[in-house]
Amino acid sequence: MAQGPTARPMTGTPPPGPPRVQTRITVPDQKIMVNLLGAGDEILRLVERSVNSDVHVRGNEITITGAPADNALAERLFSELLELIEKGETLTTDAVRRTVGMLEQGSAERPAEVLTLNILSRRGRTIRPKTLGQKKYVDAIDAHTIVFGIGPAGTGKTYLAMAKAVQALQAKQVNRIILTRPAVEAGERLGFLPGTLNEKIDPYLRPLYDALHDMLDPESIPKLMAAGTIEVAPLAYMRGRAQPYDARVLTPEGFRKFGSLQVGDLVIGSDGTPTPVIGIYPQGPKQVYRVTTQDGASTLCCGEHLWTVATPDDKRRGRRRTIETQEMIGKEWRGHTRRYELPLVAPVQMEPRAVPLDPYALGLLLGDGSISCRTTPSFSTADPELAVALEEALVDVELVRKGDYDYVLRHVNGHRGGVIVANPVTAAIRQLGLAGATSGTKFVPEVYLNNSVGVRLAVLQGLLDTDGGPVVQAGRACRVQYTTTSARLADDVVHLVESLGGVATARVREAEGRKPGLAKGRPVPYRADAYVVEIRLPAGVAPFRLSRKRRTYDERGGGRPMRFIDSIIPAGVQETMCIQVAAADSLYVTDDFLVTHNTLNDAFIILDEAQNTTPEQMKMFLTRLGFGSKIVVTGDVTQVDLPGGTTSGLRVVREILNNVEDVHFAQLSSSDVVRHKLVGDIVDAYARWDAERENQQAQSVHAVPGRTAQGGRAGRRR
């Protein structure tokens, strides 16, 4: 017969557990033991509640009794606490709880290393991560260019990011901090609140100001903000660095309308070389300002548009700063001197183009030539050196002297075979549209204005060798002056100078009221206004070829060309857009060869409350990243305040950028909450409630007969 299982007699004795063993830890220093036990033994009691082993303390010896695995955990806990004390920390119950939590997670990170990673110290207070998740978040900021800190409130996402930003600024890894959060974007009707715009927005930015005061001396914060080193602004200001569509931007083919640019087009950077446009962002109608420099150059931009400038203090320290237009309004002058100096473009590298006439020869003829084309072209000069140079620059043309200073440009093969052949100079002048031009209507043809550096410089040298010259003043560098009666030619000379990295200032000397000149001892009144152009060129760019002028210029030196902001005045509301370029310094050249930019270089940028951005705003913000910059984006996807139906940019950005190199997503949880312990419990409770509600909704959908999971009526197959 088959026998059933044998019943085990009931003895009432529990099954035997793992053997209990003892582990002893000796603490050699009595002061360390006092710190380890805590006031009134509160640390010891917390340790006893946190481990499964029995803990007894006698003198300087700690005895741990329990299962080997439990003893090992307790022993490691005491080891970490002792290391914290040895590193100068005063133990708190909070530090013990966090150490226990990290050990229970089984991470390879040592709690003592996490809790002693100092980021900033000020007035005896040290900012450091307090949880394993925070430590990983801080390490990610060090290792990546863009970091997303996503997690519930109280996990220190923004606070730690700001501490890293201040640390980077103090270590001179960046030269400015930009703190921003969506305020107006979150659907609030700020327009109906009393006060100025700043007064309306400041409450939304107050947490950022409060964090700054924890990390920096309060007295230094206004100075840093006034200098543009720290900027605290709503997200709307971040996207507003724009220029009107009608502004001009310099390309390798010349200037074109700003609004005509497309991604991939080339514009000229501050180094004079082409750089591609990698982003275009329409900004809608905005208040714009006309920024004018001391040499008369000007352009239009919005108040948030960026400029790289150097103040006298900056120059003494050998540095530059990036500042918004609106920050300079009313501060353009310091006493009797202009405050903000702008960088100058290097000689612009444009596409070489074929020209019908040697550029130096064209400059000489525009200065002292007769190009009416009604007669054979002629040239007048008191410098035989120029006549020789002109003849050498022209093909199949010889200069025939007709008087003391007059020469005729004769075609050497003009009557070949009894046939009259067109003078090559006349043919070129007609091709360039200069035929019939007089002293008051001459100009530099476009094909020469937008050509290689060599062509532009040669034209300028021809003009200056004839109608320009060095001006010498005692104790000063030599400056160059050019005079013409053609307003258009004066503008063209300014264009040539600025395209070569120089500065030119034009003024009018009116004919009326001027003292008459003398011709053979007789007074001759002036019949036309004269346009005088004062010129300074950068080192290495020679304005003259004529020996006597070049010698004078070289002896004195030409001085350094400089461009300062003279005034900033409102210019109405216009449709605007902003661009991003791939240049290393993010600079590009706009109207009148002004150097400007609108991306953020060498900056630590923090976007707080990012769950309240739209996907479009998130894209705009991330593409503002400049060279040498770092971005940290923080937010809690469970607390979106956007209007109904609007998708949060923070919720979709992970899906979009998850596989992009140098972008990191740090996920913080309730275990990383560093506020009151109850905050973590609240976060967990809400998470459970949300999960239960979603589960109930899913079950109710499936429980309705004849309904699909999508809520529609199930169709019957036939």
Q: Which one has a higher pLDDT value, 211 or 332?
A: 332
Task: Give the domain 132-236+602-672 fold.
Answer: Rossmann fold (3.40.50)
Q: In the prediction, which pLDDT does 416 show?
A: 57
Arithmetic mean of pLDDT over the chain: 83
State yes or no: pLDDT of 63 exceeds 80.
Answer: yes
Q: In the prediction, which pLDDT does 288 show?
A: 95
Q: Where are the domains of the chain?
A: 21-116, 132-236+602-672, 242-344+564-597, 359-561
Q: CA–CA separation, 402 vs 400, rounded Å? A: 6
Q: CA–CA separation, 628 vs 544, rounded Å? A: 41
Q: CA–CA separation, 376 vs 374, rounded Å? A: 7
State yes or no: pLDDT of 441 exceeds 50.
Answer: yes
Return the CATH number of 21-116, one of 3.30.1370.10, 3.60.15.10, 2.160.10.10, 1.10.10.200.
Answer: 3.30.1370.10
Q: How do the residues of the chain divide into helix, strand and coil, expressed in percent and rounded to 5?
A: 35, 25, 40
Closest CA to 594 of 483, 493, 482, 501: 501
* Strand pairing class (563-581; 587-590): unpaired
Q: CA–CA separation, 310 vs 387, rounded Å? A: 45
State yes or no: pLDDT of 302 exceeds 60.
Answer: yes
State yes or no: pLDDT of 186 exceeds 60.
Answer: no
Q: What is the pLDDT of residues 65-75, one digit of tens each?
A: 888 888 888 88
State yes or no: pLDDT of 237 exceeds 80.
Answer: no
Q: What is the pLDDT of residues 376-420, one digit of tens each?
A: 899 999 999 999 999 999 998 999 999 889 999 998 876 655 556
Q: What is the dihedral of CA 362, 363, 364, 369, to 10 degrees?
A: 70
Q: CA–CA separation, 459 vs 365, rounded Å? A: 10
State yes or no: pLDDT of 236 exceeds 90.
Answer: no
Q: CA–CA separation, 66 vs 77, rounded Å? A: 15
CA 554 to chain centre: 39
Return the CATH number of 242-344+564-597, one of 2.40.160.10, 2.170.16.10, 3.40.50.740, 3.40.50.300.
Answer: 2.170.16.10
Range from 441-445, 478-482, 601-605 carrying the lowest mean pLDDT: 601-605
Q: Is the torsion defined by CA of 245, 248, 250, 253 positive or negative? A: positive
Q: Hey, which bits of 247-405 come out as E strands?
A: 248-251, 254-257, 266-268, 274-293, 298-302, 306-309, 321-324, 333-334, 337-338, 341-342, 369-370, 378-380, 397-401
Label residue 455 by pLDDT band (50, 70, 90): very high
* Strand pairing class (176-181; 230-234): parallel
* Highest mean pLDDT, choosing among 185-189, 473-477, 539-543, 594-598: 539-543
Report residue 391: phi and psi, to 5°: -65, -40
Task: Give the domain 359-561 fold.
Answer: Endonuclease I-creI (3.10.28)
State yes or no: pLDDT of 14 exceeds 70.
Answer: no
Average pLDDT rounded to a whole number, residues 279-297: 90
Average pLDDT rounded to a whole number, residues 452-475: 93
State yes or no: pLDDT of 111 exceeds 70.
Answer: yes
* C-beta separation of 627 from 581 below 8 A: no
Q: Which one has a higher pLDDT value, 20 or 259?
A: 259
Q: Which one has a higher pLDDT value, 585 or 195?
A: 585
